[in-house]
Structure 1
Amino acid sequence: MLENIQNIDISKMNMETLTERILDWTINSGIKLLIGLIVISLGFKIIKKIVKYFTVFLEKREVDITLIKFSKSLITGALKIVLVMSTFAYWGMNLTGLAALVASAGVAVGLALQGSLSNFAGGFIILLLRPFKVGDYIQAAGYEGLVEQIGLFYTTLVSVDNKEILIPNGILSNGSLINYSAKETRRVDLKFGVGYEADILHVRRVLRDIVDRHELIIDYPEPFVGLIEHADSSLNFVVRVWCKTPDYWTIYFDLLEQVKIRFDEEQISIPYPQLDVHLNK
């Protein structure tokens, strides 16, 4: 088809001959070009439906959501490449020559796409080792958020204030990260300061009563309440309780609020740093 266009020598043709050649190309090759474009357009739509049905099939089989989304990206890309290459072959393009050209430029392309290839490999490593999955809350590469999607090259996080964060898979697979959702339970650690004049036994009983009354705090491991430090301006108590991971922040904020209310009711003072200045005349 492309050779037919190159063989047309306009300088040696009159208008009638040129019209005939253009008409001949339109009938023979132009229609072929149009059919190829239609095939690509329809093929992309069919691929979209195939991937959708495949995704539904995996979901019914209760396959992990991380694997589903990664497979969706991989299959979509592979099918589109096959479709486009098949269309090129239908148009009469020399795919053997194209393959040789790609092979000869492999080294240069590899160097140019070194980062992308690293991210692509990192995606497979994440999928294989499973350091996190979709729905986990992680901290990595200086960012933290809820894992929304693990793609071929990037992992998408959503921050607590609903910002979308894209982190290359190569960085995630080679760097350190914290997965806050990996375990079913977490420990909440809080520190409360009281004045030196306070009755420490009374303070400990109040804190323990607050802990025992909270419905979301689990009994095992056993909660701990104790005096941890004689600080410059206060006696510091530590409260360590265990809970289910999704309840972490609920308990964290509840304890902060309830301790302040109970300390006010029990007339337990919460000191603040003070500075005494002495002036000599």
Structure 2
Amino acid sequence: MENADLWMQKGIDFVTDYGPKIIGAIVIYIIGSWIIKKLVKATRTVLNKGDYDESLKRFLLNLMSWGLRIFLIVMVISKLGVETTSFAAILAAAGLAIGLAMQGSLSNFAGGVLIMIFKPYKIGDLIEAQGVLGAVKEIEIFTTKLITPQNKLAIVPNGTMANGNIINYTAEGKMRVDTVVGIGYGEDMKKAKEVLLEMLVANPKVLQDPAPSVNVMELADSSVNLAVRPFCKPEDYWDVYFATVEGSKLALDKAKIEIPYPHEVQINK
């Protein structure tokens, strides 16, 4: 009988001491979970209005949700009377260890976030970065995938992409095709320029604004070099380049304007 009374008294003491703490912890968890849900929903609405990349939105929302939930759990544990100082120290030490172990990955992650926020390029853009020229196939959190003109897949870390120089050929919607054509010193330079310019204007993929140009670039040892420079859309670059090289030869041949080439001198013995 005495044991029963003792256990009952201990139960009453436990409820008296920990009951309010447990109820308070439950209330904090319920209210905190509701607040976190509302904050995540509001953040999702803001990100959707900002037209951010879908993978970035998911990652930021998950990061925010987990961060707030960890903070809420610490608050609940603290309400129960558990000392959280050592717990926080363990989390800090674990975070430092993970950060040091994943230093390169964290750099790439940070670069990916910056790329997705500031958008120096987007999927489909023709860019040149880190010595690689290609069309952007995919932008991930840690890497950017490019398809080169040779149809090779190049995977470049976002850390180096964000910290290096990036040339975006697509951003302005047009790009210049630079080619050089040489004619003989004895040829009619004015006529050659007119013939080449007519060839450029006749190409439907050559833009007329800015207008194509043909100018004297260099007085070389055996030729007068003309800079033939049409503008085109980025996706038409190679078509215009090859058409300009071939068209220049055909147009000058038709106009009977000589393109100098090395001659072999044969000596009869």
TM-score by length of 2: 0.66
Contact 2:126–2:136 (CA<8 Å) still a contact in 1?
yes
Equivalent in 228, 240, 261 of residue 229 of structure 2: 240
The residue matched to 1:228 in structure 2 has which SS? strand
Deviation at 1:201, TM superposition (A): 2.0
**Letter of the structure 1 residue corresponding to residue 119 of structure 2:** R
Deviation at 1:99, TM superposition (A): 7.2
Deviation at 1:76, TM superposition (A): 7.5
* RMSD (Å) for aligned C-alpha atoms: 3.3
Say if 1:248 and 1:160 are closer, same or farther in 2 by CA, change over 3 A: closer
Mapping 1:129-208, distance limit 5 Å? 129-208=118-197
Q: Following the alignment from structure 1 to structure 2, what is the Cα–Cα distance between the partners of residues 272 and 134?
A: 43
Instruction: Give the corresponding residue for 1:127.
Output: 116
Contact 2:124–2:137 (CA<8 Å) still a contact in 1?
yes
Q: Following the alignment from structure 1 to structure 2, what is the Cα–Cα distance between the partners of residues 116 and 183?
A: 32
The residue matched to 2:225 in structure 1 has which SS? strand
Contact 1:116–1:153 (CA<8 Å) still a contact in 2?
yes
Say if 1:106 and 1:77 are closer, same or farther in 2 by CA, change over 3 A: closer
Deviation at 1:165, TM superposition (A): 1.8
- Long gaps (5+) in structure 2: 1-43, 69-83
Q: Following the alignment from structure 2 to structure 1, what is the Cα–Cα distance between the partners of residues 171 and 59?
A: 25
Deviation at 1:107, TM superposition (A): 2.2
**Number of residues paired by the alignment?**
210
Q: Following the alignment from structure 1 to structure 2, what is the Cα–Cα distance between the partners of residues 98 and 161?
A: 54
Q: Following the alignment from structure 2 to structure 1, what is the Cα–Cα distance between the partners of residues 223 and 206?
A: 27
Say if 1:189 and 1:150 are closer, same or farther in 2 by CA, change over 3 A: same
Say if 1:125 and 1:261 are closer, same or farther in 2 by CA, change over 3 A: same
Instruction: Give the corresponding residue for 2:25.
Output: none
The residue matched to 1:149 in structure 2 has which SS? strand
Q: Deviations over 1:47-93 (max 9, x none)?
A: xxxxxxx9xxx7xx9x85x71243356668889999xxxxxxxxxxx
**Letter of the structure 2 residue corresponding to residue 161 of structure 1:** Q
Say if 1:161 and 1:245 are closer, same or farther in 2 by CA, change over 3 A: closer
Deviation at 1:215, TM superposition (A): 1.7
The residue matched to 1:105 in structure 2 has which SS? helix
Deviation at 1:221, TM superposition (A): 2.1
Contact 2:108–2:141 (CA<8 Å) still a contact in 1?
yes
**Letter of the structure 2 residue corresponding to residue 114 of structure 1:** Q
Equivalent in 237, 240, 243 of residue 254 of structure 1: 243
The residue matched to 2:249 in structure 1 has which SS? helix
Deviation at 1:250, TM superposition (A): 1.6
Contact 1:233–1:273 (CA<8 Å) still a contact in 2?
no
The residue matched to 1:256 in structure 2 has which SS? helix
Mapping 1:1-281, distance limit 5 Å? 67-72=53-58, 101-273=90-262
